[in-house]
Amino acid sequence: MRGLSKQYGAVRAVDDLSFDVPAGTVTGFLGPNGAGKSTTMRIVMGLDRPTAGTALVNGQRYVELAEPLYQVGALLDAGAMHPGRTGRAHLRIGARTNGIPLKRVEEVIEQVGLGTAARRRIKGYSLGMRQRLGIAAALLGDPQVLLFDEPVNGLDLDGVRWIRALLRGFADEGRTVLVSSHLMSEMQLIADRIVIIGRGRLIADAPVDEILRGLGGQRVRIRTPQVDDLQRALADRAAVQRTAPEELEITGLSATEIGDLAHTLGIPVHHLAEIEQSLEHAYLALTEESVDYHGHTPAYANGADQ
C-alpha cells in the first residue's frame, strides 16, 4: 500500500495509508470498528477504487493480474454466496471460471473439513461452515498471497485451532498472509507482524514483540501484608500502582530484583509474578484516541449499588 486513500462523500475511510505485507509472515491487520480495514482489503482485491494511492500485489494491481486466483486468495465476506447452491457447486463455478481443474475442488473441500456438508445448500450452513467454504474458495488456485477478514468468526474451538494452524502453516511455507481480527489473543499467537490503523491512518507497523516491548517495560505483581512498607521502598526505584489492599503492580524492576529487595527489608511476600504482556493491552493503549464507537459500562459494574 502506498499513499492509499478512500473517500465516501464526507467520510475518509482510508487516509494516506502505506505499509508492506512481506512474504513468509502472518501480518495481523488490526483497528477499531470503522478504522478502514475492510475497505483497504476491498481495494487490494479491486472491489473498491481508491481515491488516491495504490495497492499492489506482486507489483501489480489486482485487476491487472492475468490469473488472479492463482496469485491471490481472499475471504472478505462469508455471506457473499448464493444461498441456493451447494458448497461444491459454489467451488466448481469458481474453478471453471478461473481455469482451475475440478479435482482441486475436492482437495480444498477435504482441506477445510467440509466433508459431506459440501453436498448441502449454502442456505443451511452455519456461519462457521460458510467461513470454511469461503476459505476453500480462497485456496482454489493454491495462491501465494492470502487475505482473510475476520476468518475466526463463527468457528468453534476446533475450528479456531484449525485456522490458527492453517495460517501459520501458510506463512511457514513462504506465503504472504494478511488477516484482520478483533481477537487479540489469536493474533498474539499466530502473527509475526502487526499493522494497526485508526480512522483510516496508520498507527503502528512492527513485529509483535516490538509492539509488546513498547508497553513501557516489564510489569510485576506482588502481594504482601506490609504493602505500605514495600511501596515506600520502591517509590524512587520504579513505577508502583496499588491494585488491591495488599497488592502492588510494579513497572521498571524484575521479579528477582523486587524479591531480593523485599528479603533485604524483611518484608514477607505471599505472591510474586511477572505479568505477561498482552497484545490486547498494547492495542488498547495504541488505539485509545481512535475509537469512534464507545459502549457504556453500567454503574454497578464499577462497584456501585445495583
Give the model confidence (pLDDT) of 194-247 as tens digits.
Answer: 999 999 999 999 999 888 876 556 789 999 999 999 999 999 899 999 999 999
What SS3 state is found at 152? coil
Rounded to whole angstroms, the Cα distance separating 173 from 39 reads 28
pLDDT in tens, 27-45: 999 999 889 999 999 999 9
DSSP one-letter code for 86:
B
Flag whether pLDDT at 193 surpasses 60: yes
The answer to whether the predicted template modeling score (pTM) of the entire model surpasses 0.85 is no
- CATH code for the part of the protein at 219-276: 3.30.70
- Residue 68 in grid coordinates: 488472479
Rounded to whole angstroms, the Cα distance separating 255 from 275 reads 10
pLDDT of residue 252: 83
User: Residue 286 corresponds to which amino acid?
Assistant: L
248-255 contacts, C-beta under 8 A, 24 or more apart: 248/221, 248/222, 248/223, 248/224, 249/219, 249/220, 249/221, 249/275, 250/219, 250/220, 250/221, 250/222, 251/216, 251/217, 251/218, 251/219, 251/220, 252/217, 252/218, 253/218, 253/220, 254/218, 254/220, 255/220
pLDDT of residue 154: 82
Q: What is the dihedral of CA 68, 69, 73, 75, to 10 degrees?
A: 100
Flag whether pLDDT at 155 surpasses 90: no
In b/e form, how buried is each residue of 225-245, taking b as 16+ CB within 10 angstroms? ebbeebbebbeeebebeeeee
Rounded to whole angstroms, the Cα distance separating 226 from 64 reads 69
168 or 293: which carries more pLDDT confidence? Answer: 168
Confidence of residue 85 (pLDDT cuts 50, 70, 90): very high
Give the domain ranges of the chain: 2-209, 219-276
Q: What is the dihedral of CA 197, 27, 104, 102, to 10 degrees?
A: 20
287-293 contacts, C-beta under 8 A, 24 or more apart: 287/31, 287/32, 287/35, 287/196, 287/198, 287/203, 289/198, 290/31, 290/32, 290/35, 290/198, 290/199, 290/203, 291/32, 291/198, 292/32, 292/33, 292/34, 292/199, 293/32, 293/33, 293/34
Confidence of residue 126 (pLDDT cuts 50, 70, 90): very high
- Greatest pairwise CA separation for the chain in angstroms: 76
Rounded to whole angstroms, the Cα distance separating 194 from 205 reads 6
pLDDT of residue 228: 95
DSSP one-letter code for 60:
B
pLDDT of residue 133: 96
Phi and psi angles of residue 103, each rounded to the nearest 5 degrees, phi first: -65, -25
State the CATH architecture for 2-209: 3-Layer(aba) Sandwich (3.40)
Rounded to whole angstroms, the Cα distance separating 64 from 222 reads 59
User: For residues 225 and 246, is the Cβ–Cβ distance under 8 A?
Assistant: yes
Section 100-107 average pLDDT: 96
102 or 289: which carries more pLDDT confidence? Answer: 102
pLDDT in tens, 48-76: 999 999 999 999 999 999 899 999 999 99
User: For residues 150 and 180, is the Cβ–Cβ distance under 8 A?
Assistant: yes
Give the mean pLDDT of the chain. 90
User: For residues 145 and 56, is the Cβ–Cβ distance under 8 A?
Assistant: no
